[in-house]
Structure 1
Amino acid sequence: MKFNILGSCVSRVSMLNGNRDMHGVYGEGMELGYFLDKENIVCAMLPSPFSTEEVASVRKEELWNKKAIHALKQCMDKSTVQLLMESDADFLVIDLYDFQNDFVIRGQEIFSSCAAEFMNTKVFRDTAQEYRLANFFNLPSALWRPYIDAFFAQIMEKYDADHIILNRFRSGTYYFGKNGLVNLLPDNLKNWYQCSDKYNVQLRELEEYIIQLIDPYVIDLSRYFFCDENFWGAPHGAHAEREFYRESYRHIIEISEGKSEKRCIDVPDFIAGEISEEYSREIRQHPLDIDSTLKLLHELKAQDDVLWMNLFYRLSLCYPNDARIEQMIQEI
């Protein structure tokens, strides 16, 4: 079974069953076709602002992350759709992380910024005065949604709705810190080339639009999980608890094998009562401060934010005999 990924680490690490340092797809008989990241699907549908010579001049030696060379050139030469259409993959896994990033305007054309890597190139240094930044979520959707329609009209000539999996994404507001606290993600980790929770509402509306448009399989688990410094080593708005990726992987494989009983998977294991021993062990290894976490739990619950359930499960596992937890269990 071969998968293409159009998205980010949200889906790449999901396809690796949470093993973020591996490559490809986890599991025997599973294969990765293309991992096409740093590209949003509106930019992919529009002409390139770069000449063939400019694209060819970009060298991996210029980049801080040498592995980003293919993603950068894909964004510059607008080869994303062509690669997907010519691929022999069975499934397309999509997440819309890159829609929260700013895109770059050059003249009358636009392209995905590919994080900060483009700014390391000679092409950028020679033409730096020609670029402006913008974000689709700050523009009227009537200007860009027709390109969403056009993208999926073309893609569905290759992949039908039963072979497209939308892995929904919620950018993190909080992260589990190594200090045992639930911390706010600082603004300096929400730069123009990164995801940002200020666009979460618009992103969810766009995902709903796409679901209505093409009726793909949907994995809607990201909103139940926190970002996790313990797993990733550093906080980031898209770096979730390892359990998110494990559960997403399991559901993606079940979908690909025709074993999924639901079109939309939107209940995590800790709510369904099917929690793994591995996740329980990870929670116990990193207990949260109960007083500050309870305060946040009640705030989230008052806001109807499903994240409160994650905190409740963690506290009930680590502090089962605390009177406040016992009372909440009785109330629920």
Structure 2
Amino acid sequence: MTSPVGTRTLGRDGPAVSAIGLGCMGMSQMYGTADRDESVATVHRALDLGVTFLDTSDVYGDGHNEELVGEAIAGRRDEVQLATKFSLSRNDRGGMDIDGRPENVRARAEASLRRLRVDVIDLYYQHRVDPRVPIEDTVGAMAELVEQGKVRHLGLSEASAASLRRAVAVHPIAALQSEWSLWTRDLESEVLGVAREHGIGIVPFSPLGRGFLTGAIRSPEDFGEDDWRRGHPRFTGEAFAANLRLVDAVRAMAEEKGCTPGQLALAWVLAQGGDVVPIPGTKRRSYLEENVAAAAVQLSDGDLARLGEIAPPGVAQGGRYADASYAYGDSPERAA
């Protein structure tokens, strides 16, 4: 049976993956309480629908998410293109530490393989570039994992243009994972061009604006007490009201197109190129099925131009993170 979402290839020599992936983070943290049984059922439903590109990280739920994904894909490993990440860990100050040392690369990969219950990881990302460790050393250690047969392809997450250029000199990079959506278009200014110059596929996370572009969030009170978006710069104060106007414009156009706002937003990301594979995250089958249907939404050049006017670069009010330096691990601010 042909997958309703189709397939795309990441990188010049990278893996063929489903054109829409599944971000699994919310099954373990950040977006309120998750139901383990529903999370596993969501992964199973994704595979049934041809969404076979699964994204996790060793820091999501401090290993819980990898264990959950490993449980969910048991017996179906051959259907899956499995991506995970390393380098971030929580510290006792409530923040994140980045560790790109070669010895950490090896140790974290072995731990991920155990939690995922697999022999090989299809796509292994450095979650954030460590500004204190030359990226050549980190990628060199990652390349050794490829040589050993423990990893098939390498990726970077939220890396700068300079880091991409240095990394590809050591080993081919199949994918760059970064935030990209109608309300976050920073990637387009420099990083996107450099990635494409070097044949690196793009894996946008939060392609639905952390859920805001679905139109389901109308008030800060819509978030549960344990939902991290309650304190997010784009979901508070005047920024919330300003961003809601963007959502309303997307909603109005979606009604004309006969689709949901989320499907329109996801279709826009898909239309950015055949090298783009968004990974909308969800922990519920109903939202997964809505996302899959976005693959059938056709956008004309006129539609894309109109969306570009609705959501030009920089349209969203508020930062991407409360700590701005978290956007790029190798930023000068992070290294300072």
Q: TM-score, normalised by structure 2?
A: 0.31
Q: TM-score, normalised by structure 1?
A: 0.31
Structure possessing the higher relative contact order (Cα contacts under 8 Å, 6 or more residues apart): 2
Q: Which has the larger radius of gyration?
A: 1
